Amino acid sequence: MSNPVLENIRTRRVIREMTDEPVDPHHLEQILEAARWSPTGGNQRPNRFVVIDDPELQRLIRLVAPGMFQHAPILILICVDFAIFHHQLDPEDDPLYPIDVGKAAQTMALAAHSLGLSTGPVTSFNKAAVKKILNLPEQVIPCLFLCVGHKAPQTQFAMRGAQRIRWQDLCYRNRYETWDR
Amino acid sequence: MAKSSEKRLLSEDQAVELIALFLSSARLLISEPPAYGPLRLLTATERLSAMILDDASPTTKKLLQVCIDRIPHTYTLANEVKEYAAAMDELCDALGQCLVDRAKLQGGS
Ligand SMILES: Cc1cc2nc3c(=O)[nH]c(=O)nc-3n(C[C@H](O)[C@H](O)[C@H](O)COP(=O)(O)O)c2cc1C
């Protein structure tokens, strides 16, 4: 891979050990602005972003987030405001919002990586408890925390995959024909 | 009930922290990959070990230190059943030794 965008995509890793060095507020704003440019299904823009920099709130969130190994200086919670879907029968029937959340998360992760910051997504958290801790309105559903900070120098805890995967292992042509054939 | 001769090792805040971890995990694990179940139990073990390390007896301390030292590496093996089982067997061996030492069992070869 040769251009800086592709290189950025390839070199971003999920980081679970961070230092307590603060995140430059200007960088944080650039990451949030990047999320604003992330596309959404039907251009409905249901994502809401809550930045949590209060250490006590972060502590409480970690208590109910078994999947959060990071002690990150900044947490960005991506929520979905279900009030946006008021004209639809049930957004769960054909849900586009998880795709919107995923696109925003990856957009922010790549933006952060390009600024020399590290990120880790966390969805293993207790939604009901987080709603209470962060005083979220009833119709606002917490979906994904993006931990943002600086990578710690020590070895990172990363789940080893069962096997190494090449892109060709995941891709098919036309009528589900394997790529390597 | 704890025997009255044994001192308390956990504060109320620490107990609530563990309850939060257990309840949150019990809710989440319904829809998470099966390998996450053992991970959550290991997280709880690691946290509890760190909470009581300073005040535990020397015998228990040995086990707690093994948990604190080994569990972070064990996490990384969750997708590799054989290596994970071997790492867990080492932890369980330390556990068995701690139980034997605490019960002051005699004899055997
Ligand atoms: C939707 C989603 C949710 C995730 N939730 C968690 C989580 O709760 N805790 C965690 O440690 N990692 C979480 N991850 C990180 C994955 O485990 C990670 O993508 C995987 O380890 C690959 O890491 P890499 O990008 O560094 O190769 C999540 C990733 C995604 C895409």
From B107's Cα to the closest Cα of chain A, the distance in A is 41
Domain residue limits at A37: 4-154
Residue A167 maps to a domain: no
A181 has pLDDT over 90: no
> Higher-confidence residue: A85 or A11?
A11
For residue B80, name the pLDDT band (cuts at 50, 70, 90): confident
Q: Average per-residue pLDDT in chain A?
A: 92
Interface test with A, best of B24, B71, B81 (most A CBs within 10 A): B24
Cβ atoms within 10 Å of A33's Cβ, excluding its own: 11
What pLDDT score does A17 carry?
92
A62 has pLDDT over 90: yes
Measure A77 CA to ligand 1 centroid, in angstroms: 15
Contact between residue A142 and residue A131 where contact means Cβ atoms under 8 Å apart: yes
Structural domains of chain A, count = 1
- Whether residues B20 and A63 touch (CB distance < 8 A) is answered with yes
A159 CB under 6 A from ligand 1? yes
Residue A175 maps to a domain: no
What's the pLDDT tens digit per position in A70-94? Answer: 999 999 999 999 998 876 667 667 7
What pLDDT score does A2 carry?
81
Of A45, A125, A37, the residue nearest A82 (C-alpha): A45
Query: If you take atom 7 of ligand 1, which residue's CA is the nearest one?
Result: A122
For the segment A58-68, the average pLDDT, to the nearest whole number, is 97
Percent pLDDT > 70 in chain A is: 91
Query: If you take atom 3 of ligand 1, which residue's CA is the nearest one?
Result: A123
The dihedral over CA atoms of A26, A73, B69, B81, expressed in degrees to the nearest 10, equals -70
Residue A162 maps to a domain: no
Interface test with B, best of A17, A125, A160 (most B CBs within 10 A): A160
For residue B76, name the pLDDT band (cuts at 50, 70, 90): confident
Residue A136 maps to a domain: yes
Residue A173 maps to a domain: no
Give A145's strand partners.
A77, A122
Q: Average per-residue pLDDT in chain B?
A: 91
Interchain contact A84–B (C-beta under 8 A)? no
- Whether residues B25 and A157 touch (CB distance < 8 A) is answered with no
Report the CATH number that the domain containing residue A70 is assigned in CATH.
3.40.109.10
Residue A132 maps to a domain: yes
Answer left, alpha or beta for residue A14, where phi above 0 means left and psi between -120 and 50 means alpha. beta
- Which of the residue ranges A65-69, A161-165, B45-49 would you say has the lowest mean pLDDT? A161-165
- Whether residues A66 and B17 touch (CB distance < 8 A) is answered with no
Whole-number Å distance between alpha carbons of A130 and A63: 10
A67 CB under 6 A from ligand 1? yes
The pTM of this model reads: 0.90
Whole-number Å distance between alpha carbons of B85 and B99: 20
- Whether residues B21 and A67 touch (CB distance < 8 A) is answered with no
Domain positions in chain B: 34-105
A18 has pLDDT over 90: yes
What pLDDT score does B100 carry?
94
For residue B75, name the pLDDT band (cuts at 50, 70, 90): confident
Whole-number Å distance between alpha carbons of B77 and B55: 30
Q: What is the ipTM of this complex?
A: 0.82
From A95's Cα to the closest Cα of chain B, the distance in A is 17
Residue A36 maps to a domain: yes
Contact between residue A15 and residue A69 where contact means Cβ atoms under 8 Å apart: no
> Higher-confidence residue: A164 or A11?
A11
